[in-house]
Amino acid sequence: MSRFGLLQLCWFNKSYRKFINLRVYYINYIHYIIFKWVFVYTNKCIRPGRKGELRKMATRANFKREQIGKGNKAFSTSRTTIETAFYGNNVEKILDLKQAYEMAKNATGTIQTDMPIYEPEKIGLPENAKILLFNDGETVGRFAGARVILGEAGVDEAEMAKVLREATYNTRYKKMYHSEAYIGLDKDFMVKAHLLIPETYENTLLNWLLNFQYKTAEYNDMYKESKQIGDEPDIFILSDPDYKHPKFPNGLAYFDPEHNCACLLGMRYFGEHKKGTLTLAWGIANRNGYASCHGGLKRCIKKSGEAHVLGVFGLSGSGKSTLTHAKHNGKYDVTILHDDAYIISSENGSTVALEPSYFDKTQDYPLTSKDNKYLLTVQNCGATLDEDGKLVLVTEDIRNGNGRAIKSKLWASNRVDKMDEPINSIVWLMKDHTLPPVIKIEDPVIASVMGACLATKRSTAEKLAEGVDMNALVFEPYANPFRTYPLKQDYEKFKALFKERSVANYIINTGHFMDKKIPKEVTIGILENIIDGTAEFKDFGMISQFKTMNVEGFIPDFQDKNYIDALKGGMLGRLNYLNSLKEFKGGRDDLPQEARDAIDTIIAEIK
């Protein structure tokens, strides 16, 4: 009998067919079990080996009962005191953006302009939403003097806990709103944050939800799929802008960075809430393999198809937003990550934006500016009626300095939330009158230490203590005054980017060179030369580690003794600053000796 005939005989035998069908069934069932184990258990919500335990998201807020207590990072004195206030019977949870908008619109003192929000539905706002204006009062900037960071010298948690307990007790006399948002816009890095703020501060609540990523089905799913970030708990921030503790009459911004919590007291300005949230998110990023960045990042694709990813680091007023959003007259295909807050992976050089919107100054945007089309809310600006009787904004810092607005993500049509291409260049934006418009640095140690000694001047974004000179040159390491961890960690991370990932480094002076202002057109031209690879760098006088390019009208005169003395003075200022870190904050921010040696070498060459 042929093989085909044997197969026919077997198939028509009922017992044999039953055996085959059962075998197929069990094989399929085994495949199903394997698939479920591999896909569901490892990628979705159940962890193998721990029946019924929910998989950790990027950060955690909920724990099994046996995990609640001492030894768990989520239950420190400060954090537990702050978090407990979120569960009072005077707390209402507000997660819906449209509801938050209506609450802000109807809050006492809010000004609803006659200026429509552009495509509000794409943002998640009501269809006919208008730009809202709300003003704070005397203080229109951040106050660094209010920051108290647990872990720094002289900060006693037991004493601070008394302040926290009194502040949380006083929240019982008012209605409080609890909201949630995501910090980080890619599943590689997402952190959940919680904000508790009193009734009458609905505008702050709305601004916080607009500035960060409010919860939607899309982002909830992304968060479920996001990478677990160590053992980090969610961020919890308690804010009571009306409460001032007697020990902190000018306000308090208290941070417990290791436990991801903060308390803001007597701080009305929205920037305190924005940067307070980022302060904790940047700390989480730093502990988990990222360099935290206060700056802008863009990708420029040239006509040849070659891409250049460039990051600019600077304080408010340094030009980082202007340079990040520059279109370069269509010379490149420009894609923007963000102009203020992002992180760089130490592993692969990729970058992730931390927030979708832009908290931008209104100083350079008159009412008729086309960029005002993308305003969502405005703070600390004026209002008036136009010739048609329409209520409109008065910008350009006429009312006060540091007028601000939250701009829609739609402002940059060429926006992404993550760039897989590794960063190519890092630019320190400085306002140091002794430096020409651009310096190139090739030594990784000097590149990182110059970032640690980033020279700049204070801006209207800050509230300064009485007697502080607004025009004095100051050093702000990596343009990030929001660091809560030792400076050495940033120093090593950026040095590794320059050394191990071959990231190029430049200093661009956006202030004055000696007594001559450097126009933004000159700065943008320099950026384009860097991107195109056409910049011709030459020796910078006697300093062997610096290179520069000739920029007409801004060529250093190394025969001028006044200039040489000023240049040397600038470097001596940096060395003195580095030496001061040995004692400042109990030496917490002291850098390795190689950093001081690098500046010492430069000083020795200036003759």
For 557-585, write each residue's pLDDT tens digit. Answer: 999 999 999 999 999 999 999 999 999 99
Question: What domains lie within the chain, and their CATH numbers?
Answer: 12-55 (no CATH), 77-289+358-411 (3.40.449.10), 292-346+424-557 (3.90.228.20)
d(CA 339, CA 413): 14
Closest CA to 160 of 13, 292, 259, 296: 259
d(CA 3, CA 604): 93
Say which residue, 346 or 20, is predicted with more confidence. 346
d(CA 127, CA 346): 42
Q: Which DSSP string do the residues of 100-125 spell out, in sequence order?
A: HHHHHHHSTT-EEEEEEPSSHHHHT-
- Asked if the model's pLDDT at residue 37 lies above 50, the reply is no
Q: Which DSSP string do the residues of 461-484 spell out, in sequence order?
A: TBPPPTT--TTSEEE-GGG-TT--
| Residue 465 CB-half CA count within 13 A | 7
What's the Cα-to-Cα distance from 381 to each of 113, 135, 242, 377, 402, rounded to whole Å? 12, 7, 21, 11, 9
Q: Which DSSP string do the residues of 340-393 spell out, in sequence order?
A: SEEEEETTT--EEES-SSEEEESTT--TT-GGGGGEEEEES-EEEE-TTS-EEE
pTM over 0.75: yes
What is the DSSP pairing of strand 382-385 with strand 391-394? Answer: antiparallel
d(CA 382, CA 315): 25
- Asked if the model's pLDDT at residue 74 lies above 70, the reply is yes
Residue whose entry in the numeric block shows the structure tokens 């006919």 = 128
User: What would the pLDDT profile of 262-293 be if each residue is shown by its tens digit?
Assistant: 999 999 999 999 999 999 999 999 999 999 99
Q: Is the dihedral of CA 254, 255, 261, 264 positive or negative?
A: positive
Give CA torsion, residues 244, 247, 248, 254, to 10 deg. -100
User: What would the pLDDT profile of 462-497 be if each residue is shown by its tens digit?
Assistant: 554 555 454 567 899 999 999 999 999 999 999 999
Low-confidence winner among 13-27, 88-102, 553-567 (lowest mean pLDDT): 13-27
What's the Cα-to-Cα distance from 215 to each of 96, 218, 347, 541, rounded to whole Å? 8, 8, 29, 55
- pLDDT above 70 covers a percentage of the chain that reads 88
19: its two tokens: 């055996």
